[in-house]
Amino acid sequence: MPEPSTPTARKPRRYSVFAIAREAMRLHSGWERAWADAQPRGRYKVVVIGAGGHGLATAYYLGKNFGITDVAVLEKGWLGGGNTGRNTTIIRSNYLQDPSAAIYDKSLKLYETLSQELNYNVMFSPRGLIMLAQTEHEVRGYKRTAIANHLQGVATRWIEPAEVKRLVPIMNIDGPRYPVLGGLYQERGGTARHDAVAWGYARACSQMGMDIVQNCEVAGVDIAGGRVRAVETTRGRIECDKLAIVVAGHSSVVAEMAGFRLPIESIALQALVSEPIKPCMDVVVMANTVHGYLSQSDKGEMVIGGGTDGFNNYTQRGSWQHVEETVRALIETFPMLSRLKMLRQWGGIVDMTGDRSPILSATPVGGVFVNCGWGTGGFKAIPGSGWAMAELVAKGAPGPLAADFGMSRFAEGRFIDESVAAGVAH
């Protein structure tokens, strides 16, 4: 018999300047664990598979917006150890299509106050973001996006090469192959600390009495009469009324356990960082024609990302050829990179849909919902996605933010095409 379901909320201990002073006085002996290392119970109202940012944010907004706290978040590895802890942290909402702009801008607005809301410093840094136009085609495309963004109420603007150079003096805008012809500038765009986003949501969920269970892999989904009954895990069977599958690159694998297929391809995406150097660039730059993007971390490292691998795979690691490809692509525009040592590289498994837009959807199985397809660009979407997914799970039907992102759009030909609009979708 499963144990009874008894969520117990923990009284939140606030982080503040007074708490730091108090702990300094007692040699930091009073800090408590940020979240409880929970043992799974036998039954929950809602089980979320995947303790990445999207899974944790889903759980958080289930509690905050709908009062549903009888929730377990099950993670096969460690919290935030998937793409959430592996991305290059770019945040922006300058998408072309209306449904995309709506959900990404909701997310950006939530990011703007997330540290205060979670009482956890996610180091959100709205330092501005430029998408470089390096071909005539991109000039036309980004001018069009600037107008679309204006109509959507998302503040972006087209900037000329001289302003790009003023904002990023280290850039060579006169490259022989790909000169900088201007850019799409979003002043509110920027970065945040990726682990902190996962940790902040985890702490808030734990304080609401939810169980975050690490080292707990879901290996099967038990369905009876077309409805979910339980999940089989490496730590036993866990019953639930509703199941949210939020596992990014493993979405097809878990969907198969529940007996349906997803229009998802899983591909490794890689990134790398240089040795730390003095502050030299306080804007995020994306160069989509050459397929590279760049920002400087608070530690001084140049954080560099490129394109996906050219073939589907589940390999969570970097490769030499990718370092060369990505850095070579960027050197014409950022010659200083040629003199930097590269420190680390890594990879994550991203979940790509054909139209490069996410899926937030009910599924053919009663009580099972899926959130995936954020591909190479879902870090920025974590708060907005969690908000919309919580509504979908709580009500059983999508709210306005998720309404267009159902999986039936692929059968019905209602694509939300961001692949042409963004080139790379980070």
Ligand X SMILES: Cc1cc2nc3c(=O)[nH]c(=O)nc-3n(C[C@H](O)[C@H](O)[C@H](O)COP(=O)(O)OP(=O)(O)OC[C@H]3O[C@@H](n4cnc5c(N)ncnc54)[C@H](O)[C@@H]3O)c2cc1C
Q: Measured from the CB atom, is 49 or 202 closer to ligand X?
A: 49
Binding string to ligand X for residues 159 to 188, with x set by CB under 6 A, is what?
A: ------------------------------
Contact 184, 142 (CB under 8 A): yes
269 binds ligand X (CB under 6 A): yes
Binding test (CB under 6 A) with ligand X, winner from 36, 48, 73, 90: 90
Nearer to ligand X among residue 269 and residue 407 (C-beta): 269
Question: Token digits for 111?
Answer: 């990011």
In the bound state with ligand X, the residue whose beta carbon lies nearer, of 40 and 182, is 40
**Separation of alpha carbons 77 and 214, rounded Å:** 6
Nearest-approach distance from CB 248 to ligand X, in angstroms: 3
Smallest distance, ligand X to C-beta of residue 254, A: 5
Find where tokens 């501005």 sit: 128
Residues in the chain: 426
Stretch that binds ligand X, among 130-138, 243-251, 322-330, 361-369 (CB under 6 A): 243-251
Q: Write a three-state SS string for 160-210.
A: CHHHHHHHCCCCCCCCCCCCCCEEEEECCCEECCHHHHHHHHHHHHHHCCC
Q: What is the DSSP letter of 80?
A: T
Only one of the segments 39-47, 124-132, 371-379, 411-419 lies at the binding site for ligand X (rule: CB under 6 A); that segment is 371-379
* Minimum distance from residue 253 beta carbon to ligand X (Å): 7
Nearer to ligand X, 173 or 292 (CB): 292
Beta partners for residue 266, in sequence order: 351
| Nearer of residues 377 and 406 to ligand X, judged by Cβ | 377
CB of 143 to ligand X, least distance (A): 23
Helix or strand or coil: residue 20? Answer: helix
Q: What are phi and psi of 283, to 5 degrees?
A: -135, 155
Considering the rule CB under 6 A, would residue 217 count as an interface residue with ligand X?
Answer: yes
Using the CB atoms, write b or e for 67-100: b if 16+ within 10 Å.
ebbbbbbbbbeebbbbbbbbbbbbbbbbbbbebb
Q: Which of 40, 63, 81, 386 binds ligand X (CB under 6 A)?
A: 81
306 binds ligand X (CB under 6 A): no
Stretch that binds ligand X, among 4-12, 14-22, 33-41, 376-384 (CB under 6 A): 376-384
Number of residues in contact with ligand X under rule CB under 6 A: 40
- Window of 126-134, 164-172, 375-383, 412-420 that interacts with ligand X by CB under 6 A: 375-383
Q: What is the CA radius of gyration of the chain?
A: 22
Q: Does 110 help bind ligand X (rule: CB under 6 A)?
A: no
Residue 375 burial (CB count, 10 A): 26
Q: Does 89 bind ligand X (CB under 6 A)?
A: yes
Collapsing DSSP to helix, strand or coil, 295 comes out as strand
Q: Judged by CB under 6 A, does residue 128 bind ligand X?
A: no
Among the listed residues 145, 140, 139, the one whose alpha carbon sits nearest the alpha carbon of residue 164: 139
Q: Quick one: which of 188, 53, 204, 197 has its CA closest to 108?
A: 188
State yes or no: residue 292 binds ligand X (CB under 6 A): no
Q: Site residues (CB under 6 A) for ligand X?
A: 49-55, 74-77, 81-84, 86-90, 217-218, 246-248, 250, 254, 269-271, 305, 348, 350, 374, 376-380, 426
